Amino acid sequence: MPSFDIVSEIDEHELTNALDQANREIGTRYDFKGANAQFKHVENTVTLEAQTEFQLQQMIDILYQKMAKRGLELGFLEAGMPEERGQRAYQTITLKQGIDRELAKKITTMIKDSKIKVQSAVQGEQLRVTGKKRDDLQEVIALLRKAELKQPLQYQNFRD
């Protein structure tokens, strides 16, 4: 029986490359001379550190640009509020990965409401969609690509 999995994962290798490129650009830009600004990546967060909030905003723009060039979707990022501590400014960006229960329920409801003859099942942080025809599965993928969801999705393990 044909099936595929719906997941929401960011490519860690490409993210690391984008962050390295952004750090390199900050190191060479004139407006960041002596600012000791940097990006730090720890598990599911990216921390921006600079002297002022204005520099933080410039750093976010640089990061978005580098991520877009590397083919990473910006929907994975959730920027927190900038805060100033002492003479430094910090901002934390959270990386949203995995499909939470609320989003899984919404996707399942969308699939059921479309009257396409497939079944969907939640498996941890992903959804498995199965159906009798390959065309039905492709219809589900097209439906989800058109939907306005707040998180990017990938479709993996498409099996006939």
Distance (Å, whole) CA 76 – CA 53: 22
pLDDT attached to residue 45: 92
Distance (Å, whole) CA 148 – CA 136: 20
pLDDT attached to residue 137: 86
For residue range 79-113, list pLDDT tens digits in order.
Answer: 899 998 888 899 999 998 888 888 888 888 888 88
Identify which of 114, 145, 107, 147 has the alpha carbon closest to the alpha carbon of residue 128: 107
pLDDT attached to residue 29: 86
Domains 3-8+99-159 and 12-95 share a fold: yes
CATH architecture of the domain 3-8+99-159 equals 2-Layer Sandwich (3.30)
DSSP codes, 15-27: HHHHHHHHHHHHH
For residue range 18-66, list pLDDT tens digits in order.
Answer: 999 999 999 888 888 888 889 999 988 999 999 888 888 999 999 999 9
Phi, psi of 52 (to 5 degrees): -135, 165
Phi, psi of 118 (to 5 degrees): -140, 165
Q: Are 140 and 116 in contact (CB under 8 A)?
A: yes
For residue range 65-88, list pLDDT tens digits in order.
Answer: 999 999 988 888 888 999 988 888
pLDDT attached to residue 69: 93
Q: Is the model's pLDDT at 136 over the cut of 90?
A: no
Q: What is the mean pLDDT of the chain?
A: 88
pTM of the model: 0.80
DSSP state of 72: -
Q: Are 88 and 49 in contact (CB under 8 A)?
A: yes
Domain 12-95 CATH assignment equals 3.30.70.990:
yes
pLDDT attached to residue 48: 92
Longest dimension (CA), the chain: 62
Could you state, in order of their start, the residue ranges of all structural domains in the chain?
3-8+99-159, 12-95
